[in-house]
Amino acid sequence: MASPRNSFLTSNDARLVRARLIRPEDPRLRRYGTAALTVALAALVRVLLQPILGYGLPFITFFAAVFLTAWWLGFRPTIFAVALSSIVAGLLFFPPPASRQEALLTAIGLALFIAIGVGAAGLGEGRLRAQRQAEREADESRLARQSAEDLALEAEEAAAQAEESAAQAEEHALRLAAVVDSSDDAIVTKDLDGTIRGWNPAAERIFGYSAAEMVGQPIFRLIPPELMDEEHDILRRIRAGHHVAHYETTRLRKDGHRILIALSVSPLRDASRSLIGACSIKRDVTGQRQLEAQLRQSQQLDAIGQLAGGVAHDFNNILAAIAGYVGLVLRALPSNHPARVDVLGIEEAAERAASLTQQLLAFGRKQVMQPDLLDLREVLDDTGRMLRRLIGEHIHLAIQPGAVLSPVLADRGQLSQVILNLAINARDAMPNGGRLTIEARDAPLTEEYADNHIAVAPGAYVLLAVSDTGHGMTPEVKAHVFEPFFTTKPRGKGSGLGLSTVFGIVKQLGGHIFVYSEPNQGTTFKVYLPRAEGSIAAAPGRATTPVEGGQETVLVVEDEPAIRGVIRRLLEMSAYTVLDAGTPAEALELAGSYEQAIDLLLTDVVLPGMSGRELAEQLQVRRPGLTVLYMSGYTDDAVVHQGRLDPDTAFLQKPFAPDALLRRIREVLGPGDSNAGAARA
């Protein structure tokens, strides 16, 4: 068996070669049979020629048989044919030897035939071998050519495939690069020792360094000094093949600012899977965390506000009763009575309690306000005069009202309260003097600003900014300043209600307040109030009405018996005729059965079964022209919507002093008793 010459021939090719070239010898029967058949044919032809040839040329046809056999069948079959021919010719075509000479000639003839036959066998064998060799070589070369062609084709295909996969790889790489480039997150790759190798555009934005500045630099440039260990730990974990997932930490920007980032780091491996570095994805979550903190703070303030407002409301009713009875006692006591001083003490305490309740109500956004279109510059002008006395000589006060300023819809008293509270805080933050600046100007809030601040709607605002150069605040203080009763002042110096009042008022006006402060860097409070449309009318001068009684009939509706009692006493002492009821139903019944005129309905707003407003409407149907004066300590009701009074509504804020009630009644009824009897049944 021949082994394939070329190593690139497959075993299949080798089998082919063997089948085609190294042909196994034909079966013996076929070879020798063919030889015998040829000899038989030669014998037949010689028999047919017998009449012509007689006993001459006995081998003539057998030569042909032997040559043909030699040509086609090779050595051995030819020898077989020679032998067979000699026998057949000897038996059939040799005459019985007539003489020794003839026998010799016959023997010579036979020997010659055998010799020529053997020679032909040798030549035939040689020819066959040469032919087989040539065939084999031709086949081999054809196969080799074929293989070469196949190989060339394969190589071509491989090249095409390689080209295609190179193109695919390039496209893939391009797509990957596009993803990295367009990512909003910083994608940074680094070596195992922390040398930066990749820095995408988002990393440039977030950290402020360009790729040219950072590639090749140690990652430690971004790490705050106290967090170096953390980065070493990350690298250690990466070298151990671990991931570091979703982790929040602080990093340094190029400008030195610290930012809060969320990061995850994964090991980076090459094509052979060996560890070559790390890839980290970093997101700046500073703004998000600030927003969350703002949201938490505002929710917390809302909750405390609701609580404070609720407590203040109930407390207000009690105070109204205390103040009322104190007023009655003071009226009854002669001016030289020794108990007067004590009662005055109670009155003063009740007043202090009332002002505290007002602050709590303000914080809870429940204070009743009477908003007017106001020019903040005017309010600043008024308040400024008072401020200069309040803050003292050691502080330089600069009031900078903008040249043009849009009006705001607000309660003048409340706005002064905001300015005063902020200014007094600023004064307290500058015990050794400094500079207090109060600025007012139009300041639109942009969409971007609104996106970064909880509950801020973009739009036109008027800004009131109060800045000082005082001791500033730590982040912890800053986080709590608007909470009621939060104070850093010594006991007795501050109640911690100043800023919560400011906060409540600003929120009630639909505005926003922000504080900017660093320790020892001073403080700025920025108050944004929504700009109001319209022009400012000249404020009507409010003439003070004297405290006096009257002859009219007043229907008092109040569900708190203590308050009802004190009001009744007070009005009766001032010569009014008083009807009183604890519920609207009672009031309607009373008014129905009362035959005389009722001049004034003095009613609480929140009543059982029906609001004071509904009661007033029903009574006014029966008694047209009935004057109504509402009283309430609370804003969440039918008359005072979100703290704003309906226009043309007469209202008295609880708790009130006796004089305030008497004065207000005269204001709504008009002087003296001139219109008594206007609303007769």
Ligand X SMILES: Nc1ncnc2c1ncn2[C@@H]1O[C@H](COP(=O)(O)OP(=O)(O)OP(=O)(O)O)[C@@H](O)[C@H]1O
**Binding residues for ligand X (CB under 6 A):** 421, 425-426, 429, 468, 470-473, 477, 481, 486-489, 494-500, 523
Pick one of ligand X, Mg ion, none as the site partner of residue 217 (Cβ within 5 to 8 A by kind). Answer: none
Distance CA 580, CA 577 (A): 10
CA gyration radius, the chain: 60
Burial class (CB in 10 A: 0-12, 13-18, 19+), 128: middle
- Which of the listed partners (Mg ion, ligand X, none) does 577 bind, with a CB threshold of 5 to 8 Å by partner kind? none
- Partner interacting with residue 261 (select from Mg ion, ligand X, none; CB below 5-8 Å by kind): none
Helix (H, G, I), strand (E, B) or coil at 451: helix
Contacts of 580 (CB under 8 A, 6+ apart): 555, 556, 557, 558, 564, 567, 568
- E runs forming strands in 612-678: 627-632, 640-641, 644-645, 651-653
CA 667 to mean position of chain CA atoms: 59
Q: Closer CB to ligand X, residue 36 or residue 430?
A: 430
Smallest gap from residue 306 Cβ to ligand X (A): 19
Give min distance, CB of 422 to Mg ion, in A. 8
Part in contact with Mg ion (CB under 5 A); list of ranges 70-78, 347-355, 395-403, 498-506: 498-506
In the chain, the amino acid numbered 519 is P
CB neighbour list of residue 188: distance below 8 Å, 6 or more residues apart: 196, 198, 199, 200, 203, 219, 279, 280, 282
Give the DSSP letter of residue 227.
G
Contacted entry of Mg ion, ligand X, none for residue 196, CB cut-off 5 to 8 Å set by kind: none
Q: Which residue has the tokens 């990093």?
A: 251
Decide whether 94 or 486 has the Cβ nearer to ligand X: 486
- 504 binds Mg ion per the rule CB under 5 A: no
- Min. distance of Cβ 383 from ligand X in angstroms? 16
Site string for Mg ion, 413-452 (x = CB under 5 A): ------------x---------------------------
> What SS3 class is residue 424?
helix
CB 605 within 8 A of CB 560: no
Q: Which of 407, 498, 511, 584 binds Mg ion (CB under 5 A)?
A: 498
Q: How far is the CB of 414 from Mg ion (least distance, A)?
A: 16
Q: Residue 135: how many CB atoms within 10 A of its CB?
A: 13
Give min distance, CB of 468 to ligand X, in A: 5
**Residue 495 touches which of ligand X, Mg ion, none (CB < 5 to 8 A by kind)?**
ligand X
200 vs 524, which CB is nearer to ligand X? 524
- Which range binds Mg ion by CB under 5 A, 80-88, 245-253, 368-376, 492-500? 492-500
294 binds, among Mg ion, ligand X, none (CB under 5 to 8 A by kind): none
Beta carbon of residue 386, minimum distance to ligand X (angstroms, whole number): 16
Minimum distance, C-beta of residue 415 to Mg ion, in the bound complex (Å): 16
| Residue closest to ligand X (Cβ) | 498
In whole angstroms, what is the distance from residue 493 CA to residue 120 CA? 143
C-beta nearest to Mg ion: residue:
498
- Written as six digits, the tokens of 97 are 């030897």
Q: Which is nearer to Mg ion, 471 or 568 (CB)?
A: 471
Instruction: Catalogue the E-assigned strands of 87-209.
Output: 186-191, 196-199
Sheet hosting strand 395-401, strand order edge to edge? 395-401, 434-442, 461-468, 523-530, 512-517
Check binding of 632 to Mg ion (CB under 5 A).
no
Instruction: Name which of Mg ion, ligand X, none residue 473 binds, using a CB cut-off of 5 to 8 Å depending on partner kind.
Output: ligand X
Task: Please give the structure tokens belonging to residue 171.
Answer: 């496209």
The contact set with Mg ion (CB under 5 A) reads: 425, 498
